[in-house]
């Protein structure tokens, strides 16, 4: 998979290159191209912002550097072009899985009070939000999406890790997990997990998933299970 990012702050993405993501990059399971929008500005001072027509607070990103950056990265529009914005649909695990199936993704990060609408209209395929709150720019949001997507690239997770028994994989939160010691600070691991009875363990885990989801995220449950 090819992933590109258009941003005014490419250095922010160093924080993405840790752990499983760093290993996946080393193994060349995907490429991560970081492109500085400012490098495309035709302004003599390399400016990328200006005042909004009609007035209002703050500055907007001007269309020229953004448009040229996006189309230099993806001249034939082969990438799915995603603008990170609180106006987008909220990211879900099923969206993550859908994006992981794409061959090329281009994330466009806004800054200041936003970007000129003509770039959204002409150059963007989809807007995506990571939640109902406002960040100072799209960089953290892009890193969240890339991190979540990269886990689904074949080979990214070690053989001992998997995406099929985790929260949201079956519409429920994950069951609680325990490791050694069997008793810690007077708290014992649930008996059933030490029983060796795999069917019983499966049943216990399913039950706990339903209980935990009902308690913590009832909105995830089907009407009849709430
Ligand atoms: N940019 C600013 N806030 C954002 C959010 N909540 N999600 C995605 N991009 C954003």
Pairwise CA distance, residues 35 & 7, whole Å: 6
Mean pLDDT within 32-46: 98
User: Any idea what DSSP says for residue 155?
Assistant: T
Q: Encode 190-212: b = buried (16+ Cβ within 10 Å), e = exposed.
A: eeebeeeeeeebeebbeebbeeb
Tell me how far the alpha carbon of residue 142 lies from the centroid of ligand 1, in angstroms: 9
Phi-psi sector, 163: left (phi>0), alpha (psi -120 to 50), beta: alpha
What atom in ligand 1 is closest to the CA of residue 132?
Answer: 6
Question: For ligand 1, is residue 146 a contact (CB within 6 Å)?
Answer: no
Question: For ligand 1, is residue 52 a contact (CB within 6 Å)?
Answer: no
**Cβ neighbours around 149 below 10 Å, total:** 24
Question: For ligand 1, is residue 62 a contact (CB within 6 Å)?
Answer: no
Q: pLDDT tens digits for 95-105? A: 999 999 999 99
Mean pLDDT within 16-29: 96
Pairwise CA distance, residues 192 & 139, whole Å: 44
Tell me how far the alpha carbon of residue 20 lies from the centroid of ligand 1, in angstroms: 24
Q: pLDDT tens digits for 199-212? A: 999 999 999 999 99
pTM over 0.85: yes
Which residues are within 8 A (CB) of 31 and not within 5 positions of it... i.e. 6 or more apart? 1, 2, 3, 25
- Structurally, at CATH architecture level, domain 2-150 sits in 3-Layer(aba) Sandwich (3.40)
Tell me how far the alpha carbon of residue 133 lies from the centroid of ligand 1, in angstroms: 7
Residue from 130, 139, 145, 148 to probe ligand 1 pocket by mutation (most atoms less than 8 Å from CB): 130
Q: What angle do CA 74, 143, 171 make, to 5 degrees?
A: 110
Domain ranges of the chain: 2-150, 167-225
Give 11's pLDDT tier (boundaries 50, 70, 90).
very high
Q: pLDDT tens digits for 145-176? A: 999 999 999 999 987 678 888 888 889 999 99
Kindly report the CATH number that applies to the domain delimited by 167-225.
1.10.1270.20
Sheet holding 104-109, edge to edge: 31-36, 2-7, 104-109, 80-90, 126-129
Q: pLDDT tens digits for 62-73? A: 999 999 999 999
The residue whose CA is least distant from atom 6 of ligand 1 is 86
Q: pLDDT > 90: what percent of the chain?
A: 92
Pairwise CA distance, residues 35 & 19, whole Å: 23
Q: What local confidence, expressed as pLDDT, does residue 226 receive? A: 80
């Amino acid at each position: 998979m090819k992933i590109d990012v258009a941003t005014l702050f490419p250095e922010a993405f160093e924080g993405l290159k840790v752990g499983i993501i760093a290993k996946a990059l080393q193994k060349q399971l995907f490429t991560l191209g970081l492109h500085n929008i400012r490098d495309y500005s035709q302004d003599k001072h390399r400016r990328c912002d200006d005042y909004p027509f009609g007035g209002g607070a703050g500055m907007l990103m001007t269309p020229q550097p953004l448009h040229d950056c996006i189309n230099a990265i993806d001249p034939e529009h082969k990438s799915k072009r995603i603008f990170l914005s609180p106006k987008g649909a909220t990211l879900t695990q099923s969206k993550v899985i859908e994006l992981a199936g794409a061959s090329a993704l281009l994330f466009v990060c806004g800054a200041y009070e936003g970007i000129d609408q003509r770039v959204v209209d002409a150059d963007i395929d989809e807007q995506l939000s990571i939640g109902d709150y406002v960040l100072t720019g799209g960089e953290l949001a892009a890193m969240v999406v890339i991190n979540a997507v990269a886990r689904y690239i074949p080979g990214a997770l070690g053989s001992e890790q998997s995406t099929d028994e985790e929260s949201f994989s079956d519409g429920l939160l994950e069951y609680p997990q325990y490791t050694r010691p069997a008793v810690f600070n007077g708290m014992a691991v649930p008996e059933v997990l030490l029983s060796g009875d795999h069917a019983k363990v499966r049943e216990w885990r399913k039950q706990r998933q339903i209980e935990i989801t009902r308690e913590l995220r009832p909105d995830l449950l089907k009407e009849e299970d709430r």
